[in-house]
């Protein structure tokens, strides 16, 4: 039963992440610190880039908070999956996975569902605090943006599988992946509009990089500058990209695992 | 040994770690329904051979055949690492592996029935199951691992150092249990603490290489 599996993985993640309630409070505290930085950064630099933000009908503070909220969910999924994969290797659980022909896909998807509460908890907290600081959007737009984010999770899952393949082949790469992820987040418009980037790079970020496609379209939805009725071009774009990333990611992941088993390098 | 009695046939196995050859055109036949002990000095490749036979490692050259079965169910008991989710209790790990495994597994009550004649094992298992793995002793972890392995009904069993970290009483009871449990099953194992309580077919790797 996959529901039972998810419950046990939630327990594993919760106990691993929050050994005490103090850890949870510290996480919320760190989110508050981030918001304070965004608030003062928006006061300092907002006026100089406001002309680029007019397209999204927002101010600089709301712009950064939206980036934090909607990119935070898939990035947490990606990093959570990499961390749990490393634990599986460190504890030699993967040997049992291989011998019993346990489905990696089933485990990874259960792990993603089991881990999703954490970015949602953070998002809820940030939204509540930010609304007090001037963030505003309609509930319907917010729900559509969340739906788009869920759809983007397929691409990020594929992205995570590509990252795990790199770890399998190189034996390392976790830090590189986290840094690449942070760079892609920044270049995808988490902290500044993609229009500031050279035009070719901006096009690349908003057509094949899931971070960029997600953020650009979430911003449009929240600003209500895009038609909301389903199905939308953006949804189809993300769904197709998701299939491409997840398909190629899973193929590469399985190939890299075979490579590891042939090399005898089952320790990461 | 007649050909039809062989459960597992390793044919021309070649394997190396980082250009260090471990096996080169290695051949071995494992008989059906026997407990086969692989012997040899440290570092000779006992665990590697077990992993190759369990298809955890894949040989670049040569092959492992399972007689009469295309996709055999493999039971693997690892010696390295805890092979358990560290923040879950013993029973949670047991149930989690049941849910992960695509085949039918024995329940914890069925395992306890299996251990009914082994009081030290039952007592230690009962103590270990409600405790988070990262708070268990090495012996408790080993017993949880063994319970999880026993729950998985398979065609072939590969157990790497099953007696490690177990007290003398536990090791004695486990060896007696294994004599009964593996009567109609094929087991290949390594064991540095071989006590002579089990009727193993011994495979001396040093003489075969």
pLDDT tens digits, B143-167: 999 999 999 999 999 999 999 999 9
Res A228 pLDDT > 70: no
Task: Compute the nearest-CA separation of A111 from chain B (Å).
Answer: 12
> Residue for token digits 């943006």?
A145
pLDDT on residue A160: 92
Res B97 pLDDT > 90: yes
Query: pLDDT band for position B38 (50/70/90)?
Result: very high
Which residue of A4, A99, A261 is the best one to mutate when testing the B interface, meaning the one whose CB has the most B CBs within 10 A?
A: A99
Contact list, A104 vs chain B (CB under 8 Å): none
pLDDT on residue A19: 74
Res A197 pLDDT > 90: no
Res B131 pLDDT > 60: yes
pLDDT on residue A57: 82
Helices (H), chain A: 2-17, 21-53, 60-90, 93-99, 104-115, 117-132, 139-170, 174-187, 199-207, 210-223, 233-263
Query: pLDDT band for position A229 (50/70/90)?
Result: low
Q: What would the two tokens of residue A112 be?
A: 């993603």
Question: How many whole angstroms separate alpha carbon A171 and alpha carbon B11?
Answer: 30
- Residue B20 bridge partners (DSSP): B17
Taking the whole predicted model, whether its pTM rises above 0.80 is answered as yes
pLDDT on residue B1: 44
Residue B66, φ and ψ in degrees, nearest 5 = -105, 115
Residue B37, φ and ψ in degrees, nearest 5 = -100, 125
Task: Compute the nearest-CA separation of A62 from chain B (Å).
Answer: 38
> Residue for token digits 């290949």?
B188
Smallest Cβ–Cβ distance between B83 and the set A1, A12, A96 belongs to: A96
Q: What would the two tokens of residue B143 be?
A: 């017993």
Mean pLDDT of A228-256: 87
* Average pLDDT score, chain B: 91
Give the per-residue SS3 of B3-49: HHHEEEEEEEEEEEECCEEEEEEEEEEEECCCEEEEECCCCCCHHHH
Smallest Cβ–Cβ distance between A103 and the set B17, B55, B102 belongs to: B102
Whether the ipTM is more than 0.90: the answer is yes
Question: How many whole angstroms separate alpha carbon B25 and alpha carbon B27?
Answer: 7
Query: pLDDT band for position B2 (50/70/90)?
Result: very low
Task: Look at B100 and A16 and tell me if their CB atoms are within 8 Å.
Answer: no
Q: What would the two tokens of residue B15 be?
A: 């394997």
Q: List Cβ neighbours of A182 (8 Å cut-off, separation of 6 or more).
A: none
For chain A, say whether B144 makes contact (Cβ under 8 Å). no
Dihedral sign (CA B69, B75, B80, B86):
positive
pLDDT on residue B142: 97
Whether the CB-CB separation of B10 and B62 falls below 8 Å is answered with yes
Res A75 pLDDT > 70: yes
> Residue for token digits 């749990």?
A84
pLDDT on residue A121: 87
Report pLDDT digits (tens) over B170-200: 999 999 999 999 998 999 999 877 666 777 8
Mean pLDDT of A2-21: 86
The C-alpha R_g of chain A, in whole angstroms, comes to 19
pLDDT on residue B130: 97
Res A151 pLDDT > 60: yes
pLDDT on residue A230: 55
Helices (H), B152-202: 168-181
Task: Compute the nearest-CA separation of B56 from chain A (Å).
Answer: 6
Task: Look at B76 and A93 and tell me if their CB atoms are within 8 Å.
Answer: no
Pick the residue with more confidence: A14 or B64? B64
């Amino acid at each position: 039963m996959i529901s039972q599996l998810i419950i046990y993985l939630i327990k594993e993640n919760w106990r691993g992440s929050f050994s005490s309630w103090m850890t949870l409070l510290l996480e919320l505290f760190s989110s508050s610190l981030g918001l304070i930085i965004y608030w003062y950064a928006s006061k300092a630099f907002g006026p100089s880039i406001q002309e680029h933000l007019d397209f999204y009908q927002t101010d600089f503070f709301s712009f950064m908070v939206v980036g934090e909220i909607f990119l935070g969910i898939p990035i947490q999924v990606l990093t959570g999956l990499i961390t749990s994969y490393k634990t599986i290797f460190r504890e030699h659980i993967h040997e049992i996975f291989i011998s019993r022909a346990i489905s990696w896909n089933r485990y990874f998807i259960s792990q993603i569902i089991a881990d999703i509460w954490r970015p949602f908890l953070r998002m809820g907290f940030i939204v509540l605090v930010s609304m007090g600081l001037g963030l505003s959007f309609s509930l319907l737009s917010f729900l559509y943006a969340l739906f788009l984010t869920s759809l983007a999770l397929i691409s990020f899952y594929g992205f995570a599988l590509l990252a795990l393949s790199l770890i399998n082949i190189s034996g390392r790469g976790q830090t590189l992946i986290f840094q690449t992820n942070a760079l892609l987040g920044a270049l995808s418009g988490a902290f500044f509009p993609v229009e500031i980037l050279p035009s070719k790079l901006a096009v690349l970020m908003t057509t094949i990089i899931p971070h960029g496609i997600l953020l650009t379209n979430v911003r449009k939805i929240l600003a209500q500058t895009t038609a909301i009725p389903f199905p939308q071009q953006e949804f189809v774009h993300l769904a197709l990209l998701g299939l491409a990333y997840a398909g190629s990611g899973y193929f590469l992941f399985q190939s890299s695992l075979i490579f590891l088993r042939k090399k005898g390098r089952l320790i990461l | 040994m007649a050909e039809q009695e062989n459960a597992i046939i390793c044919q021309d196995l070649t394997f190396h770690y980082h250009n260090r050859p471990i096996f080169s055109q290695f051949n071995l036949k494992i008989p059906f329904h026997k407990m086969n002990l692989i012997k040899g000095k440290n570092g000779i490749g006992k665990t590697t051979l077990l992993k190759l036979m369990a298809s955890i490692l894949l040989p670049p050259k040569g092959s492992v055949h399972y007689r009469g079965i295309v996709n055999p169910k493999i039971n693997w008991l690892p010696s390295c690492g805890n092979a358990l989710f560290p923040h879950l209790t013993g029973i949670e790990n047991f149930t989690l592996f049941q849910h992960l495994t695509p085949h039918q597994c024995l329940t914890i009550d069925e395992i306890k029935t299996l251990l009914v004649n082994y009081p030290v094992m039952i007592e230690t298992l009962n103590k270990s199951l409600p405790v988070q793995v990262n708070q268990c002793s090495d012996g408790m972890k080993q017993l949880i691992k063994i319970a999880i392995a026993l729950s998985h009904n398979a065609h072939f069993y590969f157990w790497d150092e099953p007696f490690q970290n177990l007290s003398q009483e536990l090791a004695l009871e486990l060896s007696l249990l294994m004599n009964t449990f593996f009567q109609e099953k094929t087991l290949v194992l390594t064991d540095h603490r071989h006590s002579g309580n089990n009727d193993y077919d011994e495979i001396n790797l040093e003489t075969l290489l």
